[in-house]
Structure formats: C-alpha cells, structure tokens
Amino acid sequence: MKEEQGERDVIIETVARVMIPFIQLFALYVIIHGAGGPGGGFQGGVVFASGFILYIIAFNLAGGRKRFPESANTILSSVGLYIYAGIGLLAILFSFGAAQYLNYGFIPFTSHFEENRALGMDFVEMGIGITVMAIIASIFFDLAEKDEKQKEGEDG
C-alpha cells in the first residue's frame, strides 16, 4: 500500500478530509428522512459506512482501525439492534395486550398518536442505520485485512 512505498497523496487526503463530514451528514439526512420519504436506515447506514471506507482508502487500513476499532464496531452493531428491538418491545408493552410489534403509535413519547408514530419510526430507522453502518464497515475491514494478509503471503 501507500505506506510501504513511502508515498502520500496530499490531494486524495485533503479531498477525503473535506468530503467525509458531508457524506456523514447526508447519511444522517437519509436515515431521518427515510421514515417519510425515500431512503431509510439501510440506505443511510451504507452511505455512512462509505465515509469510513473513504477514510481507509485515503489514509490506510491501520489508520482506519485506530479510528474505528473492532470493539466500537461490535458495540455499535449491538446498540442499533437493541434500539430496533427495544422500540418493538415497547410497542408490545404499551399496546395493552394487542401484541402489535412496531406499532409505534402506542408508545407514549408525547400525547399525540401521530407524533408518537413519527418518533417511533425515526428511532427504528436510527437503529437500523447504526447496525447497517457497523456491519458494512466490519465486512470491509475483514475483506481488506484478508487481502492484506494474502499480499504479505505472496511477498514473503
């Protein structure tokens, strides 16, 4: 990779530093806007993970691992799943025996049924987005590390 050759591409690093915050902001928009329009947690999570992938491509795999270690990846994937499942379980608890999983209107976030539904959908989309982002980043890290080990085996 770049560090083996001793080269640094300042243009790519600068463009990545400028673009990554905008990519992540757009991903958050897609996640939040997904409850009422096109997009959603899956699409936003993939876009958010693409920001991490751009960082790794621009700086290197070791730098990406420092910024996003495996422990953080595991925690985020679990938290996203817990948010999704937790909202569903809250809907069951507050539906008073109707057992309506992910019927957000029953959860008492506010006093209005429609606002409760909107907030419930937003929370579910955030949970999906967090989980998808962590899993896509994990898949990329695994593939990149496997490729790096194969290259080391060929060189050695």
Predicted confidence (pLDDT) per residue in 73-88, tens digit? 899 999 999 999 998 8
Model confidence pLDDT, tens digit, residues 36-74: 777 788 999 999 999 989 998 888 888 888 888 889 889
Return the closest-CA partner of residue 122 out of 44, 9, 6, 12: 44
Number of Cβ within a 10 Å radius of residue 35: 20
Residue span of the structural domain in which 142 resides: 2-155
User: pLDDT-based confidence at 2, cuts 50/70/90?
Assistant: very low
Query: Is a pLDDT exceeding 60 seen at residue 5?
Result: no
Q: What is the pLDDT of residue 1?
A: 46
Query: Is a pLDDT exceeding 50 seen at residue 93?
Result: yes
Total-model pTM: 0.82
Q: What is the pLDDT of residue 135?
A: 94
Count up the domains in the chain and report the number.
Answer: 1
